[in-house]
Structures are given as C-alpha cells and as structure tokens.
Amino acid sequence: MPTVRVEVVGEGTRTVDLDADATYGDLLRERGFSPHEAAVLVDDAPVPEDRPVDFEREVRVLRLVKGGAGADVGGGKPAVDDRVRVRAAADEGLDVVRVLDGAMLETDAAAVRERIGSDEVLVATVEDRVVGALVCDGDRVTAVATRRRWRDRGVGTALVSAAARGRERLVAEFDPGVRPFYESLGFEIEPAGDGDRLRGRLAESS
C-alpha cells in the first residue's frame, strides 16, 4: 500500500497509508478531517479533494477553523471538566492571542487586546492556566478555541455557555462539521448565505 508524508500545520508530520487510487479527500478523512475543516496544500498551493494523491510529493494540511469554530468544537457536547473555570480576560491578552493562533484562527490581535477586561473576551482556565478563549463582537462570536491537550473536555462548551449568559441572544457562523456542537447547546441553525457556511442563533439562557 503506498504511503505519503502528511504535515498537519502546527501538529507535526506522519506517514499515512492509502490505496493507490486514493484522493486528497480520502487523505483528509484518514487524518480525521472533513473537507470543510481543512485544506490540502501541495507545493503550498491548495488542491481539490477529488484529485488523486501524488505519492511523490509531501502534503500539508491546514485547518480551516474560522470564527465560531473552536478547537474542541466538534461532533457533540462533551462534559465539562470540573477543573475548568471561565471568566472575563484580565491581563491575559497574549495568552488569548496564542490560543487563537494555535487553532489557526484569523484574529485581529490589537482588537482583542482592546476588548480585554470586558465580557467580550473570555478565558477558560485550569489552575490559573489559560486553556481556551472566546472573543465576541457584541452578540456575535468571532472566535473560540481550546488548547490542543484540552480538547474534548468541554472547554468550548463552557466558553460558549458563559458568553450566552446575560445576552439576549448569541450568534455564530461556522462550518457544517461543527453543527452538532452548536445544536447540542440549543442554537437554531440556518444557512449563512455564504457557500456551505451556517449561522446559529441562541436565545438568552438562564
């Protein structure tokens, strides 16, 4: 069975075994991604998911995590680790930016720092270490992410739930791959009118 070297940007490189007629979409699925969650780059240029794999070339996979999608925001609502605490960011501007950058989110660092100290920038902490962050613009979630080792421990759930409290509504746009997560939190979901992107709306929660 042929193999190809695959680098997931920010997460290391490994060799993947594939069938000889595999496509780049098959490669993504083998690494646990859907085509909505990541892009395949060959020679630093994106390639379509239905193109056959060129086994002579190394591949880079870039997560396409945009506003409203998070590092542990995946296929459902995980239980929240009881060590996780959520609060408004105080002097953790650099930590917030690092968490968002680590999830490949496009973030205006200056805008994030300007909002530090308000309820528009939240951090999730464990023993005073920042393990996740969420940024809002009014009632719109613009970014939410979790440090990799803290994924699937409910950090994203805790952040989004905290952001919803005290707001009449909370909205987010995201890719189809994270729809189950937002549905699990009670968001009403509709097409966003931009390709296959979705928009979710959550009414005020108690």
Cα 34 from Cα 121, distance rounded (Å): 29
Residue 34 buriedness (CB in 10 A; 0-12 / 13-18 / 19+): middle
Report the CATH superfamily, name and number, of domain 85-203: Gcn5-related N-acetyltransferase (GNAT) (3.40.630.30)
Per the CB < 8 A criterion, the answer to whether 162 and 130 are in contact is no
Residues of the chain with CATH 3.40.630.30: 85-203
Per-residue pLDDT of the chain (206 residues; tens, 9 = 90+): 789 888 887 677 888 899 999 998 888 888 877 665 667 888 877 788 888 999 988 888 876 544 444 445 544 555 677 888 999 998 888 888 888 887 767 667 777 878 888 889 999 999 889 999 999 999 999 888 888 888 878 888 889 988 988 788 999 998 888 888 888 888 999 998 867 889 999 875 43
Q: Nearest-CA neighbor of 27 among 39, 13, 36, 16?
A: 16
- pTM comes to 0.61
The full length of the chain comes to 206
Q: Nearest-CA neighbor of 8 among 55, 50, 34, 40?
A: 40
Cα 41 from Cα 198, distance rounded (Å): 25
User: Which parts of the chain are beta strand (E)?
Assistant: 3-8, 12-17, 38-42, 45-46, 59-63, 85-88, 121-126, 129-137, 140-146, 169-174, 188-191, 198-203
Terminal C-alpha separation, the chain: 55
CATH of 3-63, one of 3.40.50.720, 3.10.20.30, 3.30.70.100, 3.60.15.10: 3.10.20.30
* pLDDT on residue 132: 92
Per the CB < 8 A criterion, the answer to whether 190 and 176 are in contact is no
The DSSP-derived string for 58-95 is: -EEEEE---TT--TT--SS-PPPPTT-EEEE-SS-HHH
HSE-CB for 166 with a 13 A CA cutoff:
6
The token duo for 15 is 């060799």
HSE-CB for 201 with a 13 A CA cutoff:
6
The token duo for 30 is 């083998």
Beta bridge partners of 171: 140, 201
